[in-house]
A and B are shown apart, each in its own frame.
Chain A
Amino acid sequence: MHVRKMSRATLVERLPGWIVQALLVTAIAWLVIRGVANFNANLKALGVSAGFGFLHSQAGFQIAQSLIPFGPASSYWTAIVVATQNTLLVIVLAGAVSTLIALVVAFGRLAPPGLVRGASAAYVEVFRNIPVLLQILFWYASAIALLPPVSDSLQFGGALLNNRGLFLPFGSAPHVEGFDVAGGIAILPELMALTLGLSIYNSAFLAEIFRAGILSVPRGQVEAAATVGLAGWRAALLITLPQALRVALPAAGGQYQILAKSSALAAAIGYPDIMQIIGGTIASQTSQVLEAMTLVVVLYAAINLAIALAVGLANRRLLRREGRAMRVRPSFPTALK
């Protein structure tokens, strides 16, 4: 019995490598050729022509939030730029907010047993075990239900808060004008809800990563700091945190990539990001689904790569400052999402 198994095994091994590889290449090539043929036939049936030529024609729609001037007369290409900027904006905002929350919660989890520690642990458990889409939908429903209408805007300083967004005094002071608020810069409720949902969900994972980082800092470091008169939050900020961040950086980088990818959930609440504008509006209006989805894939892959590169660069700089190679152990991507 066992001999038979062995002989079969060696048969597989004795198969020349080039046969397997040639078969694989042929199979993939065949799938691609069949797929392209089907695609062309189906496009013909739908009366669509392929190509990126549409990028320069007039988009004809409006976008709720744009960092550069945009109107119905702008081109699809401009719409893509606007959408990409919106995605980057929410990634940066949510990345910063989630990091801040995560640091607070991480230190809270390491506080002496008591309310603070318990509350921090509960925060992590609750928010990482509820789907992020559900959280975003919940915050959005709450935001537009609880914020007052324009006519009853809340005012703090020069800023206005209502269900059209948070209007910050920037350039000119925001003021109510007819239906709407004019002046200042606006943070839309969609952006608020998306940032809040992404930040809270990802901070629960980041807090665990930072906690592991803080725990990896040898006790002697804090004690040594105490002997030279550095204690409490200053020791935490100046001694523990820098060393902890260095250990946490690779894992945190992975989490930032996850955050960036889940920013695509904007499509569920109408925030005009890459997924919503390119994968939704442009794809349905032009019927250029292949082109639109290719753009979506390429843009997200580029953002993902940029984060990986930035984290790698930061890591290398930290290591160089350290002056010695950090011992790298094979990492287990356990915190996948």
Chain B
Amino acid sequence: MNTLFVRQTLIEPRAAPPVAVAVVERWRRMLFPTPAMSVLSLALISLLVVAGWRFFAWAVVEAHWRGGSSAACPGDAGACWAFVIARWKPWLVGNYPADQLWRAWTCFAAFALFWTWVVRRSHAASLARVLLGFVLLPVAFFALLIGGGPLPLVVPTQWGGLLLTLVVTLATFATALPLGLVLALGRRSRWPVVRWVCGAFVESLRAVPLLGVLFIAATLVPLFLPRGLAIGLFARATIAFALFNAAMAAEVFRGGLQAVDRGQREAATTVGLSDFSTLRLIVLPQAVSSVVPALVNIMIAVIKETTLLSIIGVSDLLGAIEIGAKSPDWMGESNVLTSGYVFLALVYFTVCYALSRYSRRLEVQR
């Protein structure tokens, strides 16, 4: 027996065999698997192409970018981004004094840093720390923005735009979360009066539209306040927001509390923990961490709901754009307002979509 060939080295690794189906074929299968789907796909493609091109033409090709008044945007063939660019200050910070703007920038930067830390290092950022951040940040922002002491006073009626939206969102979150937790615990209390009060509060707020609650805060609440205790519209609206979302958060927490297995509590009692310690050490940590994705969803809802402030005359991001479109320099061109709306849609979509991705990631991690 003679050996004809002995291989001395390993065979070089080869690239994966080419896909059996050609790229064109793969696309065909994806887009036109059956006649019915083909028709649907064709219709969708043509719709997307036409709509996409028209939007592109409107938003980029024909758009107007420069100018300080509606004269810069003749006709309505193209978007009027000049409006958004020229009025950057009102929609970003409202009427915040120009020489104090660093305070607003600090808030934006601090929030961006905090949020990056939460998202990028979710393991280092323990739940308690994150929640604490959400309670402390708004307080710090509020103190910095309103000033007093060495800083000149800047009252909330001078805040506006994105800054106001951010502050209201954070303030709502900071108050609605603890209050919601208290309400959820109250609804499970062994004292009937506490149960009823908390239950009635949550259920009645959940039965009414947020706009109704805001209308009440804007028009009715001042009549119930004593003379001299003048709480401004902004503060009343923020409180209404917080109470409404506390009711929403209470339902989320209630779900989380219910999800904690009964056995856990029984086991805790067996080892001699008091009711309070059981709640603090056993029930709450499990309940709260299980509802974190739902809490992020509440945050998304709050951000979207802040637009309702514009209806009662608080100039949030939407209000700032609408007031801008009615200012002497920009009024009379419907295209100006449409461009503002499209810009806002992009802003809200970016923020809310990013948050919803984050919420989904949390859900998967769990």
Q: How far is the CB of A272 from chain B (nearest CB, A)?
A: 15
Q: How far is the CB of B261 from chain A (nearest CB, A)?
A: 11
Tell me which of A24, A261, A293, A331 contacts B219 (CB under 8 A).
A293
Query: What residue in chain A is nearest B354 (Cβ atoms)?
Result: A129
Q: How far is the CB of A76 from chain B (nearest CB, A)?
A: 17
Tell me which of A131, A290, A332, A335 contacts B307 (CB under 8 A).
A131
Tell me which of A126, A262, A332 contacts B209 (CB under 8 A).
A262
Tell me the residues in window 305-325 of chain A with beta carbons closer than 8 Å to chain B beta carbons.
305
**In the docked arrangement, what's the CA distance between A51 and B65, Å?**
56
Q: If A24-B193, A133-B308 touch, does A332 touch B252 (CB 8 Å cutoff)?
A: yes
**In the docked arrangement, what's the CA distance between A333 and B293, Å?**
11
User: Of A134, A262, A300, which is in contact with the most chain B CB atoms at under 10 Å from its CB?
Assistant: A134
Consensus secondary structure, chain B interface = helix
Verify if B297 is at the interface (C-beta below 8 Å from A): yes
Verify if B267 is at the interface (C-beta below 8 Å from A): no
Query: What residue in chain B is nearest A266 (Cβ atoms)?
Result: B211
**In the docked arrangement, what's the CA distance between A111 and B32, Å?**
12
Verify if A286 is at the interface (C-beta below 8 Å from B): no
**In the docked arrangement, what's the CA distance between A176 and B278, Å?**
74
**In the docked arrangement, what's the CA distance between A198 and B56, Å?**
26
**In the docked arrangement, what's the CA distance between A64 and B293, Å?**
44
In the complex, the answer to whether B223 meets A42 with C-beta atoms within 8 Å is yes
Tell me the residues in window 114-150 of chain A with beta carbons closer than 8 Å to chain B beta carbons.
114-116, 119, 125-126, 128-135, 137-138, 141-142, 145
**In the docked arrangement, what's the CA distance between A39 and B337, Å?**
40
Q: How far is the CB of B145 from chain A (nearest CB, A)?
A: 24
Tell me the residues in window 306-349 of chain B with beta carbons closer than 8 Å to chain A beta carbons.
307-308, 310-311, 318, 334, 337-338, 341-342, 344-345, 348-349
Consensus secondary structure, chain A interface = helix
In the complex, the answer to whether B277 meets A130 with C-beta atoms within 8 Å is no
Q: How far is the CB of B78 from chain A (nearest CB, A)?
A: 15
Q: If A6-B277, A9-B276, A264-B211 touch, does A115 touch B33 (CB 8 Å cutoff)?
A: no
Tell me which of A265, A267, A289 contacts B220 (CB under 8 A).
A289
User: With a CB–CB cut-off of 8 A, which chain A residues contact B191?
Assistant: 17, 20-21
Q: How far is the CB of A287 from chain B (nearest CB, A)?
A: 10
In the complex, the answer to whether A9 meets B211 with C-beta atoms within 8 Å is no
Q: How far is the CB of B152 from chain A (nearest CB, A)?
A: 33
Verify if B353 is at the interface (C-beta below 8 Å from A): yes
| Interface size counted on chain A using CB atoms at 8 A | 68
User: With a CB–CB cut-off of 8 A, which chain B residues contact A137?
Assistant: 341
**In the docked arrangement, what's the CA distance between A334 and B293, Å?**
8
User: Of B207, B318, B342, B349, which is in contact with the most chain A CB atoms at under 10 Å from its CB?
Assistant: B207
Verify if B146 is at the interface (C-beta below 8 Å from A): no
**In the docked arrangement, what's the CA distance between A41 and B48, Å?**
62
User: Interface code B1-28, partner A: CB below 8 Å = 1, 0 otherwise?
Assistant: 0000000000000000000000000000
In the complex, the answer to whether A134 meets B344 with C-beta atoms within 8 Å is yes
Tell me which of B251, B256, B348 contacts A134 (CB under 8 A).
B348
Q: How far is the CB of A38 from chain B (nearest CB, A)?
A: 5
Besides A21-B191, A129-B304, A133-B310, 11 other A-B contacts (C-beta < 8 A):
A12-B276, A17-B191, A20-B194, A111-B37, A119-B44, A129-B349, A264-B211, A275-B209, A300-B207, A304-B206, A334-B293
Instruction: List 5 interface pairs A-B (beta carbons < 8 Å), by A numbering.
Output: A21-B191, A38-B227, A39-B223, A130-B304, A333-B255
Residues of B within 8 A of A (CB): 30-31, 33, 37, 40-41, 44-45, 48, 76, 190-194, 197, 204, 206-212, 215-216, 219-220, 222-227, 248, 251-252, 255-256, 258-259, 274-277, 280, 291, 293-294, 297-298, 300-301, 303-305, 307-308, 310-311, 318, 334, 337-338, 341-342, 344-345, 348-349, 352-353, 356
